[in-house]
Structure 1
Amino acid sequence: MQDCIFCKIITGEIPSQVVYQDEKVYAFKDIAPAAPVHILIIPKKHISSLEDLGSEDADLMGHILLIAAKLAKELGLAKGFRIVSNCGDEGGQTVYHIHFHLLGGRQMQWPPG
């Protein structure tokens, strides 16, 4: 998608601090971290929101969660971590390219804070 900031990050048009990438997924450090470890994990395929997933995306979503667990281990989050995906305006989604926040390195609170 032409105007999608995350698509531009994937292509290198916008710089990022890449943490991981493969043929399906791109993970990079959040520019405004909400925790000591704050990684965004995004599919290279543009999907606007969780609401737009199809059955053909099941393997991709499973792959993203496996990568999240791998990164959490590699980044030393053995005490715990959080995975968040905001969905829609009321859910706090600000970039309409599905993405998952991997947060850790501190005690998480509920509600989030």
Structure 2
Amino acid sequence: MSDCVFCAINAKQAPASMVYEDELCMVLMDIFPLRPAHVLVINKRHVQYVRELTEQERNHLFATANKVSQAMIVLLLSVAY
């Protein structure tokens, strides 16, 4: 998708502060974070709706989001104390 910023990031045509990346998804810092450690978990294959993801992509995306959120909680708790 030529006008999709996330496709441009995936193609390395746009900069991003990448937290994690694998063959199916990428996790990057939001450029306008609402809270500390606000990240975006993005599927690499362009789709408009989550329902368009394959079962494998959807399961992997949500498993990755869960792992990242758990890591962020540990990080934020360690900084708070």
The one-character-per-residue Cα deviations of 1:18-70 (angstroms, maximum 9, x if unpaired) are 0000000011000000111211111110101235x16xx11111101110111
Aligned structure 1 segments of 4 or more residues deviating by more than 6 angstroms: none
Using the size of structure 2 for normalisation, the TM-score is 0.82
> What is the one-letter code of the residue matched to 1:68?
A
Using the size of structure 1 for normalisation, the TM-score is 0.61
> Which residue pairs with 1:23 in the alignment?
23
> Which residue pairs with 1:70 in the alignment?
67
Which runs of 5 or more structure 1 residues have no equivalent in the other structure? 79-104, 106-113
Between Structure 1 and Structure 2, the one with more strand by share is 1
Deviation of residue 5 (structure 1)? 0.8
> Which residue pairs with 1:43 in the alignment?
43
| Aligned counterparts of 1:59 and 1:21: Cα–Cα separation in 2 | 16
Count residues in correspondence. 75
| Aligned counterparts of 1:15 and 1:38: Cα–Cα separation in 2 | 17
Between Structure 1 and Structure 2, the one with more helix by share is 2
> Which residue pairs with 2:58 in the alignment?
61
Identify which of structures 1 and 2 has the higher relative contact order when contacts are C-alpha pairs closer than 8 Å and 6+ apart: 1
The one-character-per-residue Cα deviations of 1:68-87 (angstroms, maximum 9, x if unpaired) are 11111222x15xxxxxxxxx
Which runs of 5 or more structure 2 residues have no equivalent in the other structure? 77-81
| Aligned counterparts of 2:59 and 2:33: Cα–Cα separation in 1 | 25
Identity over the aligned pairs, expressed in percent? 31
